[in-house]
Amino acid sequence: MNIRTDILIRVYGAFGLIVLFALAVLFKLFHVQIVQGKHWRKVADSLSTRMIKVEAIRGNIYSIDGSLLATSVPEYDLRMDVLSGELQENEVFNEKVDSLATSLANYFKDKTASEYAQLLRNARQVGNRNILIKRKITHQQLLEVQKFPIFNFKYGGGIKPERRNKRIKPFGDLALRTIGYKNDNVQPVGLEGAYSNYIDGESGSRLMRKIAGTWIPVNKDEEISPKPGADIISTIDINIQDVAQRALLKQLITSQANHGCVILMEVATGEIRAIANYTRVEDGVYKEKFNYAINESLDPGSTFKLASYMALLEDKKVDTNTVVATGDGKYNVHSHTIKESHGGLGNISVKHAFEVSSNVAIAKLVETNYHNNPKRFTDLLYSFGLNKKLGLQIPGEATPLIKNPASKSWSDLTLPQMAYGYEMRITPLQMLTFYNSVANNGKLVAPLFVREIRSLGQTVETFQPRVINEKVCSDETLGKLRKMMEGVVEIGTGKDVIKNPYYKVAGKTGTAQVADGANGYKGKRSYQASFCGYFPANKPKYSMIVVLNDPKGAYYAAVVAGPVFREVADKVYASDVEMFHNVQQYKFAGQNKPSAKSGDSQLAVKVAKKLGVQPAVNPKDSNTAMPSSYKAGLVPNVSGMGLKDAMFLLGNAGMRVIPKGSGKVVRQSVAPGARVAKGYPVVLELN
């Protein structure tokens, strides 16, 4: 054998071994994939592990009295693995599937039993291990479904509820835009958006293993628990909010206005007690779609005259008894005629000119005194803070526009036009904040929407009143302006609607023509009616602004915005015992004592003392404040109670309250006496 033959034999031998090895590999692959495929897929399935995200529960938003404005409740998409370990045998599945289908059909009533059965059988036939049965079911519904055939198997019978946290607002559209929302791919709105870093919490993670088609936790030691979001305590008073929205909605429907808003602010602190915005979506139907209160910046009209007179008085250009010649109600200035809305007024004082809202008087006074130095006038307006944003706690505030002589659009006519609220842009909240400074002894405070942030019951951050300007003008000027504003309601434009015999109101009406886009004031005529003021005038506690845009028919502020202001102010005044200085004269004796249910007995005693009642805490006496009655884990009977007492009892018993509506409790979701786990949600329907 020569060398060449020896080499060829070795090469062929090696090649033959490689071919045999390749054939062996192919055979093994075929055997594993086809013959043993089902077995190894089960093994792989049972060994699959992964870390999944555990969504944190978002924090709640509360009103100032503890009512829930926004909360999160669990919601589930109900899915099923029809090939799970417990259903591997066809006999087991076929024996129970019809019973399951009947139960689903009877419970959800969206499909027939045969349709449900067909859905499940088709899923099994094609190997769909994640069939959707029902979207958006509640936790209570899930508990019921888990009792159905197949789903009541030891390991769940393939049931796969996919949980998410649903955000609900128990009071519906009350303060809807202020509460706001935070959605993916949408600009955050209101408190939900502004405080999402606090409310969202921190997501956790969990190590899961897939066994028999179902993901189950591997080890609790491998879990990172989610951190629940913090709670926001807002400044909104839900009762005042309800009053404000009802009053605004009623007047919008009456006047057929395009949209409107109302804001109620506490004078000393700047805390917003109510803020409502409505847009007409069709005849007689209004929805909260846009926050006009903080975002709509328009010519304010005559409500701005307060700033013009503040500048004149502070600059010693006029006094309240200075006489202004308004003649026949027309003032020709720079080839333009400014007219009174109700004809000539002759010679009148500055005070009376403000009370009757004379356009000629204020335009003439500002033009005469500042024509040679208009910057002095605009500098005074700037010193009052009217040209700056307020720096709100929620997003969306529009930037105010107060022109000055350096502005490109400044003309000879700008100065007299500005005097009575034109050629500028101011939001309702910015205007209210300015009026509030007059009620607050000259202190300009920023509006507050959030009082406190709490996490797990502990205060994280509190928000105190933020002073923008300690003194917008002198006390002398403030005193004169207050008398002028009281005169508007006593003898001026607001006397027929806003004046009442029980308490004094100070404020100013404002009727402004709204520009029609590019057509300006020569296009379609529409008006904005507003009233801004505070009450009680002798000791201001609340300031308020009402604005209605494009009312049909009557459009003057007194008859359009006035009724809203009057209704809200009357109801707030009537419900606030602190504004009644003579409450002790009303005594209750004998059988006239007010009845009290179980609840927070300390609050009941406090109210009794305010009303002059000698409190006697006696459970047998239905006319006295009864002691609190609750037991941990047992649901108390809260029917007929107010929300605060109901929350007090349920909270101390360990339950989580979800209120719906306002008023007294008419129905509770869990029967009294039932034993539930700590933190179990109890829905209260109020009316």
Q: Which CATH number fits the domain that encloses residue 488?
A: 3.40.710.10
- pLDDT at 431 (0 to 100): 98
Range in 131-145, 171-185, 312-326, 558-572 the model is least confident about: 171-185
Residues ≥6 apart with Cβ < 8 Å to 316: none
pLDDT exceeds cutoff 70 at 59: yes
Cβ atoms within 10 Å, residue 321? 10
Nearest to 272 by CA among 410, 426, 392: 392
Query: Which single residue is written with the structure tokens 């002798």?
Result: 538
* Confidence band, pLDDT 50/70/90 cuts, at residue 604: low
Domain range enclosing 29: 3-35
Nearest to 353 by CA among 308, 297, 298: 308
Mean pLDDT (whole number) for 187-210? 81
43 domain residue, yes or no: no
pLDDT exceeds cutoff 60 at 677: yes
Range in 79-83, 223-227, 447-451, 474-478 the model is least confident about: 223-227
* 417 and 483 part of one domain: yes
Nearest to 506 by CA among 577, 559, 569: 569
446 exposure class (CB count in 10 Å sphere: 0-12, 13-18, 19+):
middle
219 token code pair? 């080890």
Residue at which a domain ends, from 230, 265, 296? 230
CATH of the domain at 132: 3.90.1310.10
134 domain residue, yes or no: yes
Given a contact cutoff of 8 angstroms between Cβ atoms, the answer to whether 623 and 593 are in contact is yes
- pLDDT at 89 (0 to 100): 85
The residue with greater pLDDT, 109 or 676, is 109
Cβ atoms within 10 Å, residue 543? 26
Residue at which a domain ends, from 230, 259, 291? 230
The half-sphere exposure of 75 on its side-chain side, counting CA atoms within 13 A, is: 11
274 exposure class (CB count in 10 Å sphere: 0-12, 13-18, 19+):
buried
Task: Write out 632-683 in H/E/C secondary structure.
Answer: CCECCCCCCCEHHHHHHHHHHCCCEEEEEECCEEEEECCCCCCECCCCCEEE
Given a contact cutoff of 8 angstroms between Cβ atoms, the answer to whether 515 and 521 are in contact is yes
* 23 and 167 part of one domain: no
* 592 and 448 part of one domain: no
pLDDT exceeds cutoff 60 at 590: no
44 domain residue, yes or no: no
pLDDT exceeds cutoff 50 at 620: no
349 domain residue, yes or no: yes
Dist. CA 579–CA 537, nearest whole Å: 11
| Helical segments of 222-303, H only | 238-255, 292-295
- pLDDT at 608 (0 to 100): 66
Nearest to 52 by CA among 228, 255, 206: 206
- pLDDT tens-digit profile of 452-496? 999 887 899 999 999 999 999 999 999 999 999 999 999 999 999
Residues ≥6 apart with Cβ < 8 Å to 629: 598, 636, 649
Nearest to 665 by CA among 625, 622, 635, 626: 635
Length of the chain: 687
347 token code pair? 């010679």
* 440 and 395 part of one domain: yes
pLDDT exceeds cutoff 70 at 611: no
* 295 and 382 part of one domain: yes
pLDDT exceeds cutoff 70 at 415: yes
Given a contact cutoff of 8 angstroms between Cβ atoms, the answer to whether 549 and 514 are in contact is yes
N-to-C CA span, the chain: 111
- For 229-251, b/e burial (b = at least 16 CB within 10 A) is bbbbbbbbbbbbbbbbbebbbeb
How many degrees, rounded to 5, is the angle at CA 105 between CA 78 and CA 130? Answer: 30
Dist. CA 331–CA 359, nearest whole Å: 9
Looking at every residue in the chain, the average pLDDT score rounds to 86
CATH of the domain at 656: 3.30.10.20
11 exposure class (CB count in 10 Å sphere: 0-12, 13-18, 19+):
exposed
Mean pLDDT (whole number) for 620-626? 41
* 447 and 509 part of one domain: yes
Q: For the residues of 282-347, what is the DSSP string, one character each?
A: ETTEEE----HHHH--B--GGGGHHHHHHHHHHTTS--TT-EEE-TTTEEEETTEEEE-TT----E
Dist. CA 635–CA 313, nearest whole Å: 64
* 412 and 486 part of one domain: yes
pTM beyond 0.85: the answer is: no
pLDDT exceeds cutoff 60 at 396: yes
* Confidence band, pLDDT 50/70/90 cuts, at residue 575: confident
* 385 and 404 part of one domain: yes
- pLDDT tens-digit profile of 332-383? 998 889 998 777 889 999 999 999 999 999 999 999 999 999 999 999 999 9
27 token code pair? 């055979």
- pLDDT at 479 (0 to 100): 97
| Helical segments of 259-342, H only | 292-295, 305-314
Residues ≥6 apart with Cβ < 8 Å to 367: 333, 415, 416, 419
The residue with greater pLDDT, 259 or 82, is 259
Dist. CA 204–CA 218, nearest whole Å: 15
- pLDDT at 85 (0 to 100): 81
| Helical segments of 263-422, H only | 292-295, 305-314, 350-355, 359-370, 374-383, 414-419
* 23 and 112 part of one domain: no
Given a contact cutoff of 8 angstroms between Cβ atoms, the answer to whether 558 and 357 are in contact is no
Given a contact cutoff of 8 angstroms between Cβ atoms, the answer to whether 600 and 608 are in contact is no
β-pair partners for 548:
260, 529
303 domain residue, yes or no: yes
Helix orientation angle between 475-490 and 428-439, rounded to the nearest 10 degrees:
110
- pLDDT tens-digit profile of 512-568? 988 766 666 666 788 999 999 999 999 999 999 999 999 998 888 999 999 999 999
Distance of CA 140 to the CA centre of its chain: 27
Given a contact cutoff of 8 angstroms between Cβ atoms, the answer to whether 241 and 261 are in contact is no
What Rg do the C-alpha atoms of the chain give, in angstroms? Answer: 35
Strand arrangement, sheet containing 272-282: 285-287, 272-282, 259-266, 542-549, 526-535, 506-514
Local structure of 445: helix, strand or coil? strand
Q: How many domains does the chain have?
A: 4
β-pair partners for 372:
none
Strand arrangement, sheet containing 665-668: 656-661, 681-686, 665-668
pLDDT exceeds cutoff 60 at 175: yes
46 domain residue, yes or no: no
Local structure of 319: helix, strand or coil? coil
42 domain residue, yes or no: no
Mean pLDDT (whole number) for 42-65? 76
Range in 62-71, 446-455, 576-585 the model is least confident about: 576-585
45 domain residue, yes or no: no
* 533 and 642 part of one domain: no
- pLDDT at 495 (0 to 100): 92
* 488 and 538 part of one domain: yes
- pLDDT at 627 (0 to 100): 43
* Confidence band, pLDDT 50/70/90 cuts, at residue 49: confident
* 224 and 286 part of one domain: no
- pLDDT at 619 (0 to 100): 43
pLDDT exceeds cutoff 80 at 212: no
